A and B are shown apart, each in its own frame.
Chain A
Amino acid sequence: MLKTVIPFGPQHPVLPEPLHLKLTVEDEVITEAIPALGFVHRGLEMLANIRDFKQMTQVVERVCGICSMIHAMCYCQGIEAIMGIEVPRRATFLRTIWSELNRMHSHLLWLGLFADSFGFESLFMQLWKIREKVLDLNEATAGNRIIVSVNVIGGVRRDLAPEQISWMLAELAEVEQEINRLGSTLLTDYTVKKRTAGKGVITKDKAFELGLAGPTLRASGVCQDMRMLGYAAFDQLDFEPVVETGGDCYARSKVRFREVLQSIDLIRQALSRIDQSEIRTKVKGRPQGETVCRVEQPRGELFYYIKADGTKNLERLRIRTPTFANIPALLSILPGMWLSDVPVAVLSIDPCISCTER
């Protein structure tokens, strides 16, 4: 049988970001997939040697647009751990609220793109219409729509007024209602199931062995969520990770759909339990030491290794983003698939390439 090599990406209608896959195809079936990266590598880790450790908060936010808030939160938590800074309780709650808003808009973006990947354009538009409301919540409370710049070492930069809290609750109720209305389409529609169910199955053992992270791992039945570590205010909220056992594209979309609703619930809990206190502590001195900090991004486990030597620049800042861990999954699920299912399978791991390459 004739072997053909088909390049998939870096520019492809279904891909939000430049990922290149070399697909070896026999007839219409993939036999081998080799990823190629390096289209958006910016060397941000190296910027830690030029910008001082406080400016790096704004730099790491720009590792990736969609998960920006959580990047900065992870970085600040890491530096705070090195310097032994106690963050005020109210600040940790505010961080939790903004990080869950971030997760909501990221998942809604992904659900829309996923609908688009199998050609369901009206579902895509409806989901992004809801996402717009979440972005408005960000804009009104944090000051910016996506890269919210609220984190600072030692706390947060914005506070919530009581009337803002009640407005947020009302908006969230509306968002929840609209998401639930689309839920039956996304999860039970015949065409959607036909395109996603049973495609790209990763078994529990395989997912664990490949070191996958986030919803991709949880959809295979592994209960692993960094929020279980109880960072920020997650130790004060009732939280159960969302786990599905299917391991296919359908299970992955279901995990993310359920996580949007879970995020709404977590924000409600955080808004009701928020303490009255300062939002920021003064930071004196420079960090010295090394630490590892992990938080849960929309795409999975975010890993920061920070080494500081007591100067104003960090000695080493290492960022391992969840998509970096999830790319080996593509090598495992693509062989044996039909060429027409590749867009759905590639999107199902939620590839965020500017995160991956930094």
Chain B
Amino acid sequence: MFKMTPNVLRNLFFPKATRRYPLEVRAPFENVRGALMNDIEKCTFCSACALKCPSQCIAVDKKAATWSYDPFACVFCGICVEICPAESLHQKPEYRLPVAQRESILLKGEPGQKIEKSS
């Protein structure tokens, strides 16, 4: 009996294990797969991300030069970032913040862009 008491007493002399979250935010780890971003200036609308996405949350229209993305269907696996030939997709280490309403992201770029060859 009373096997838990030493633990309880120990916890009195240690700082809190929890954080007051919205007021106090922990710095994210490096290379965490957070919010997905697209640099629309670099995007060539090749549709590789839309084809490979396991949850099919990306739709690309090459003619209209639009890239649309449903963050609520996204599973943040990072496959699209890995295969993007133009390297326009990247993931921030911060997670997306919760929102009250479902939203989707639509980005419009210039049609006919080519992959810039960096020398």
Asked if chains A and B are in direct contact (CB within 8 A), the reply is yes
A interface residues with partner B (beta carbon < 8 Å): 51, 54-59, 62, 120, 122-123, 126, 129, 132, 136, 139-140, 143-144, 147, 149, 157-158, 181-182, 184-185, 188-191
Residues of A with C-beta under 8 A to B55: 58
| Minimum distance in angstroms from B79 CB to a CB of chain A | 7
Does the CB pair B7–A144 fall under 8 Å?
no
Mask, B1-12, CB within 8 Å of A = 1, is 101100110000
Chain A residue nearest to B8 in the complex (CB): A122
B39 within 8 A of partner (CB): no
| Given A58-B75, A62-B75, A149-B78: A189 and B33 interface contact (C-beta under 8 Å) | no
What CA separation (Å) do A157 and B79 show in the bound complex?
10
What CA separation (Å) do A144 and B31 show in the bound complex?
9
B21 within 8 A of partner (CB): no
B52 within 8 A of partner (CB): yes
Q: Which of A143, A182, A190 contacts B32 (CB 8 A)?
A: A143
Does the CB pair A188–B52 fall under 8 Å?
no
Majority SS at the chain A contact face: helix
Of the listed residues B4, B31, B52, the one surrounded by the most CB atoms of chain A closer than 10 A to its CB is: B4
| Given A62-B75, A149-B77: A123 and B32 interface contact (C-beta under 8 Å) | no
What CA separation (Å) do A311 and B76 show in the bound complex?
27
Chain A residue nearest to B93 in the complex (CB): A143
Residues of A with C-beta under 8 A to B32: 139-140, 143-144
Does the CB pair A126–B29 fall under 8 Å?
no
What CA separation (Å) do A132 and B29 show in the bound complex?
14
Q: Which of A55, A132, A139, A191 contacts B54 (CB 8 A)?
A: A55
Residues of B with C-beta under 8 A to A184: 3
Chain A residue nearest to B5 in the complex (CB): A185
What CA separation (Å) do A319 and B79 show in the bound complex?
24
Does the CB pair A147–B75 fall under 8 Å?
yes
Q: Can you give 27 A-B contacts (C-beta < 8 A)?
A: A51-B54, A55-B53, A55-B54, A56-B54, A57-B54, A58-B75, A58-B79, A120-B4, A122-B4, A122-B7, A122-B8, A129-B17, A136-B29, A139-B29, A140-B29, A143-B32, A143-B78, A149-B75, A149-B78, A157-B78, A181-B7, A185-B3, A185-B7, A189-B1, A189-B3, A189-B4, A190-B1
Residues of A with C-beta under 8 A to B61: none
What CA separation (Å) do A143 and B76 show in the bound complex?
10
Does the CB pair A58–B3 fall under 8 Å?
no
What CA separation (Å) do A139 and B34 show in the bound complex?
11
Chain B residue nearest to A184 in the complex (CB): B3
Residues of B with C-beta under 8 A to A51: 54
What CA separation (Å) do A164 and B117 show in the bound complex?
34
Q: Which of B1, B29, B54 contacts A58 (CB 8 A)?
A: B54
What CA separation (Å) do A258 and B76 show in the bound complex?
33
Residues of A with C-beta under 8 A to B79: 58
Residues of B with C-beta under 8 A to A129: 17
Does the CB pair A55–B3 fall under 8 Å?
no
Does the CB pair B33–A149 fall under 8 Å?
yes
What CA separation (Å) do A209 and B72 show in the bound complex?
45
Residues of B with C-beta under 8 A to A190: 1
Chain B residue nearest to A191 in the complex (CB): B1
Residues of B with C-beta under 8 A to A185: 3-4, 7
Q: 13 more A-B contacts (CB under 8 A) besides A56-B54, A59-B54, A149-B76?
A: A54-B52, A55-B52, A57-B54, A58-B54, A58-B75, A120-B4, A126-B7, A140-B29, A143-B32, A147-B75, A149-B77, A157-B82, A189-B1
What CA separation (Å) do A157 and B7 show in the bound complex?
40
Does the CB pair B7–A143 fall under 8 Å?
no
Q: Which of B3, B31, B53 contacts A143 (CB 8 A)?
A: B31
| Minimum distance in angstroms from A80 CB to a CB of chain B | 18
| Given A58-B75, A62-B75, A143-B78: A123 and B4 interface contact (C-beta under 8 Å) | yes
What CA separation (Å) do A185 and B78 show in the bound complex?
41
What CA separation (Å) do A188 and B1 show in the bound complex?
9
What CA separation (Å) do A190 and B78 show in the bound complex?
48
Contacts of B60-74 to chain A: CB distance below 8 A = none
Residues of A with C-beta under 8 A to B29: 136, 139-140
| Minimum distance in angstroms from A111 CB to a CB of chain B | 14
Chain A residue nearest to B77 in the complex (CB): A149
Does the CB pair B3–A188 fall under 8 Å?
yes
| Minimum distance in angstroms from B76 CB to a CB of chain A | 7
Does the CB pair B7–A182 fall under 8 Å?
yes
Of the listed residues A54, A57, A143, the one surrounded by the most CB atoms of chain B closer than 10 A to its CB is: A143
